[in-house]
Structure 1
Amino acid sequence: MNYCGIDLHSNNCVVIVSDESDRIVYRKRLPNELTQIAAALEAYRHELAGVVVESTYNWYWLVDGLMDSGYRVHLAHPAAIRKYNGLKHSGDFADAAYLAQLLRLGLLPEGYVYPREERGARDLARKRMQLVRYRTAQILSIEGILMRQTGSRITGEAVKRLTADQVNEFAFTPDVTLAMEANRAVSQALAQQIEALEKRLMERVSLRAEYRLLKTVPGIGDTLATTIMLETGSIRRFAHVGNFSSYCRCVDSLRESNGKKKGEGNTRNGNKYLAWAFVEAANFAMRYCPQARSFYDRKKSRTNRVLAIKALAHKLARACYHMLRDQKPFDVHLCFG
């Protein structure tokens, strides 16, 4: 039986095939062309137990192509793979061989191969978040210009309504006016694109049962329900509620020895989009749900605001797991007792 590891880069990849004794039977750096990679593996197809591809930003084409060709593909989780720090030499070939070795030993930390038919919608939701951040940067820049030039403040909503004529009416110097108009024009262009993305996302998700269930949670509206549903994917991939909470970055990460804290683990291990979504949901929930507010106040009295919000986010994440698993709407009494 053979095992394949592929160290994927932006314009090339290193392909290693090793046997049951970790003896390398094939090694080569290939361009990122599916036909060449498939041709290289063809000679080992019938004895190949699996192909490991590192989960880099550009894995879609390779994983999909190899799966279409009939290979059993495993997506390696880079953040969970740790090599011995004392190695004197490491490189792409060693990394690819290590992936194959982990597969042989049954120790490979695997990532989730998100269904290709759903990836477009998930990436569209991420694109919306990216554009919103860009628009926020433009709005803050305009607010900063006005504070520097006049000493007065303007709200973000007022900035969104600014026109080119209103910018000229401030009568700033030509350079300042041009800078402010550039921010305004970019902000409004981004707003148009955000609106188009939101319309498309609603067409994709509004009829899904998971979306309607999530909207029954206090603090979760259209945007957060879309993000949580698309980033979660199939709830069945999480064996327990704790696995889902950890994936949402709602649990502590620490190392203990002899009852004492010795450090922290990888606190960023998980999904940053779900982490954001549940913190946002917690901030809204405590405003509009008395039970959520009471839970937040109790936590805050013993800790601080940040930890209390995180605890409420954890509570909502656990509730969403059970709702999606059991296909039942939110029950405030089950959530907060």
Structure 2
Amino acid sequence: MRLLEDRQHVRGLLASHENDHSGRPTVIVRGAEDSPAAVRYIEAALDTAWQALGLGETKVRVAVVIELARPPNVADRPTPADLAAYLAPDSTDRTTCIALLRAGPYWARFLLGKREAHDTGFGGFAQWLQAGLGPCAFYAAYGTPGKPVRRWLAARNWDVALYPGSRGIVGGRFSSLDLLGDSRYSWYWDQIYSFPPATVACLAGRSSGCRAAVLEGADAASPAAGPQIVRPERRWWRAQRLLPGERYLSDVARDVGRERFQGFWASSLPVDTALAAALKQPVGEWTAQWERGFIAPIPLGPAPPWGATAMALLLGAVAVLAVMLTASRRQVR
């Protein structure tokens, strides 16, 4: 596994720079061996991204491995999210997180000085790097999560902590909801209603659905021993349980503040309890309010009040009992 080899390489680099306490990520670039200027540019851009996240010296060191693509065809614009992979700290190395980022044709040619970057709405290279730090940014900012949070995130493939910061995937308020397309077309709604029921209910503004969407995986068993590798799916936004879940925990952290979020992150309490304590309100209620900041509640069939539901069930039970009694009397006669 290349990521494991990268970890060994990073250990050697860190050992040779043991007096460096800046906390800045270690950078490894593949495909730019003949372009030291590209490496320097990447290091400077990563420093900018690191500072934008408010990170300094950290307990968990981050290494960013960037692979530059060299295909024959050239893309005209950067993609919002090239495939990435992350090697989280584990029992063999508790202090290093590796982020593997694959720079597609656009950024590769830009970094190698073969084209100028155009304003495509996807933000600059530093923003792309910041988004690509993913789970490693959370490890750097808050350390290793407590066991309940770690199990929960592993069960969900970290889908609620894929993007740090507050500017969305590629700047502004752009999110995975935008990747679903235009709501004026039927295929958009086909995608929306293909998500799990709890996800759809949360999009409709129902706090019970939001709670279920957030807490899915909270009761999962511990991940298997061995390297903990996070690989977002190619179309990761279609596999989410919460939309736009990729920024959920970064928004929680910004809303509750560092101290309360740190308490949640490192807690040994169940995820529901720890998260509600950090939010100072039920998880479903906070999440429903958060969801409305991105999308107006979508239309669904009316949900009956709990009282009406209970009364209907009671009347149904009485009706069934009456039928059973009537049938019993007929048999006696």
TM-score by length of 2: 0.27
Q: Which has the higher contact order (CA 8 A, sep 6+)?
A: 2
Structure with greater helix percent: 1
